[in-house]
Structure 1
Amino acid sequence: MSLIVQGVDVFVSDTGQGEPILFLHGNPDSAEVWSGVIARLQDRFRCIAIDLPGFGRSKAPDDFDYSVENLGRFVNGVLEGLGIDGPIHLVAHDFGGAFATSFAIAHPDRIRRLVVINHMFYIADYKWHFWARIWRTPLIGELSMRTMTWPTFRWSLRLGSKRLSDEQIRHAWGFFTPTVRRNVLKLYRAVGPAEFKAWEPRMRVATAKIPTLVMWGLHDPYIPAWIAQRFGTTQVASFQESGHWAPAEVPELVSAELLKFLRP
C-alpha cells in the first residue's frame, strides 16, 4: 500500500496484528531490510515498515525537507495517514534513527518503547566515516555517486557487514537509482556539527522518558561501538556476530531481543 505524506508517495508494508511496531530503515536500504525480523514478529505484533522519503519505492519531491525537525514531522504524518493515534513501538536502524529520535523528542507520549540499532543520532563528538565525509562535500559527493559501481557498492556493504549475502546486497543495489543517490547527498548534507551539538541533549531528555533499547553489531566500521552508550539508557544488546546491518545479518538475534524488550 502507499500513503501521500508531505508530497512523498510512501511505500508501506503492513502485516500482522497486535500492538503496532513502526520499522525505519537506513541508508541505502528499503523496508526489505526488516523482512527477516518481521517474519519472526508478525504473529504477535502489527509490523509496519516503510521506505523512507526518496529511498526505495517512496518517491519524494525535489524540495523535500531533510532537516532534523522535519524528519520527526514526516513520521508523525505517516502515523496519521495510517490512522494510528495511540502509542507505538518504534524500531530504527542507521539514518532511520534520525527520523525515529526526532519524532521521539517531539512526541515522547506517542512511543511505548524505542529501539535504535547502529545509529549515531547526532552525537556531538561523532566523527563522520569516510563515505559520509565524501557525500557531505559538494561536487566530490556528486562525482562519487555518479561513478559508484556494483563492485564498489558491494565492497562497501560487505565491509560494513561481512555476513550480508550477495542477494541482499543486489536487492539494495537495485534501489540505488540516480534519484536515490541524490537524496542520499541531501540527507547527509542536511545536518552538521552544529546540529549534532544541539540535538544530543534533547535526545537524552526523550530517552529518559521513553523505555529505550540500543542494539549494536560490534563489527561496524562506520559507527563506533562506544556510541551505543550515549543514548541515555543502560539497556544495550551487543552482537559479536554482526556488523553494521544487524537486522539483515542476524534477524534471529534482533528478533529475540525485541521480543524480550517489547514483551517483558
Structure 2
Amino acid sequence: SAELWSSVIKHLKDHYRCFAPDLPGFGRSTAPAAFDCSLENMARFIDELIEAAAIPTPLSLVVADFGATYGLSWAVTYPHKVQSIAIVGGSNFSSRYRWHGTARLFRTPLLGELAMAALNLASYERTMHQNAPWLSPDYVRSSYALSLAKPETRRMMLKLYRSINPKDFVGKEERLHDLTAHVLTLVLWGDKDPFITPEYAESFGAAQVEHFPQNGHWLAAEAPEIVAQRLATFFAVGSRQERSDTAK
C-alpha cells in the first residue's frame, strides 16, 4: 500500500510534491472483483490516475515490488512522460525471474486459497519477523490491518500473483533498457531480500545501483531516512541536468 512510502515522504515533502497511490484493492483503495491486473491494463490505470490527479509530466517515478512491475510497465508505455526512475528494494521486470516459494504457492489454484485462509495476524507477524526483522512490530501490525486483514485484499493479492508471467516481460525488458539509457535511473537494493536475489538489481539498465547488505525487501520502510537522502540527492542531480539541458 501507499504506507510503504509514508516515512520516506515525511523527509521529502518540504521540497518535493509526492504522490503515493495504493495498488487497486490494497491499503485504503478498492477495486472491482473483475479488475484486470495485466501489465497493459495497469499501465493504463496508472496513466489515468496521473491524468485525474493532474500530476505534471514528465515526472520522477519511484517504485518498489509490485508497484515497480506496474510502474515500469507504465514507463515503457509512456516514455515521454518519464523524467527519471528510482527503484527502491526488490522488484521484478525480467523474463528470467522465477517466483519464490510463497508466490508459487499463491499462484496454485486451491492451494493459494487455502494458504490465504490459514493466514492470520499471528502467522503474519512471525513471517514478517523472519523475513524483515528490521521492521517495527507496530509497522507490521498496521500493514496487516491495511491489507491482509481484509478478504477483498487477499483475493486481489492472489490475483496479482496469478496475473504476471515471465513471458509478459518479453519485449518490455528491451524497451525499459532503451528508456533507462536516456533517463536518469537509480536502483537501491536490500541484499537480504528473501524473494529476489541481488543480481536482479543490475537487470534494469540503471547507471546507478547501490546495494544495502544489511537490509531486505521493504527497504523504504526499513531505512526511510537513508532512502529519502538518496532520493533527494538523485532528484537534485536530475534538476541540475534539466536546467543544463534547457540552457543549451
TM-score norm. by structure 2 comes to: 0.90
1:170 alignment partner in structure 2: 141
TM-aligned CA distance change 1:261 to 1:232, over 3 Å:
same
2:71 alignment partner in structure 1: 100
Q: SS at the partner of 2:6?
A: helix
TM-aligned CA distance change 1:42 to 1:85, over 3 Å:
closer
Hey, what's the Cα distance between the residues in 2 that align with 1:234 and 1:135?
Answer: 34
Larger CA Rg, structure 1 vs 2: 2
Q: How many residues align?
A: 235
Conserved? CA contact 2:76–2:172, under 8 Å: no
Conserved? CA contact 1:122–1:195, under 8 Å: no
Q: SS at the partner of 1:132?
A: helix
* Alignment match of 1:152 (pick from 123, 136, 151): 123
Q: Residues 187-216 of structure 1, C-alpha deviation per residue, up to 9 Å, x if partnerless?
A: 111111321444322322222232111110
Name whichever of 195-204 and 38-47 sits farther off: 195-204
Conserved? CA contact 2:89–2:220, under 8 Å: no
Hey, what's the Cα distance between the residues in 2 that align with 1:90 and 1:80?
Answer: 15
1:136 alignment partner in structure 2: 107
Hey, what's the Cα distance between the residues in 2 that align with 1:119 and 1:181?
Answer: 21
Gaps of 5+ in 1: 1-29
Conserved? CA contact 1:122–1:197, under 8 Å: no
Offset of residue 85 of structure 1 = 4.1
Answering whether residue 162 of structure 2 is matched by residue 189 of structure 1, we say yes
Hey, what's the Cα distance between the residues in 2 that align with 1:234 and 1:143?
Answer: 43
1:233 alignment partner in structure 2: 206
Conserved? CA contact 2:189–2:198, under 8 Å: yes
Percent identity for Structure 1 against Structure 2: 40
The residue type paired with residue 118 of structure 2 is: T
Q: SS at the partner of 1:89?
A: strand
TM-aligned CA distance change 1:112 to 1:224, over 3 Å:
same
Q: Residues 19-63 of structure 1, C-alpha deviation per residue, up to 9 Å, x if partnerless?
A: xxxxxxxxxxx2111111001000100111111101111110111
Hey, what's the Cα distance between the residues in 1 that align with 2:20 and 2:208?
Answer: 24
Conserved? CA contact 1:71–1:98, under 8 Å: no
1:4 alignment partner in structure 2: none
Hey, what's the Cα distance between the residues in 2 that align with 1:73 and 1:243?
Answer: 30
Answering whether residue 98 of structure 2 is matched by residue 127 of structure 1, we say yes
Answering whether residue 221 of structure 2 is matched by residue 251 of structure 1, we say no
Conserved? CA contact 2:93–2:173, under 8 Å: yes
TM-score norm. by structure 1 comes to: 0.85
Hey, what's the Cα distance between the residues in 2 that align with 1:193 and 1:90?
Answer: 23
The residue type paired with residue 84 of structure 2 is: R
2:11 alignment partner in structure 1: 40
Offset of residue 186 of structure 1 = 0.6
Hey, what's the Cα distance between the residues in 1 that align with 2:173 and 2:123?
Answer: 33
* Alignment match of 1:59 (pick from 16, 19, 30): 30
Q: Residues 91-116 of structure 1, C-alpha deviation per residue, up to 9 Å, x if partnerless?
A: 11111001210111011111111111
- Higher RCO, 1 or 2 (CA under 8 Å, sep at least 6)? 2
Offset of residue 89 of structure 1 = 0.9
* Alignment match of 1:161 (pick from 132, 135, 148): 132
> RMSD over aligned Cα, in angstroms?
1.3
Q: SS at the partner of 1:57?
A: coil
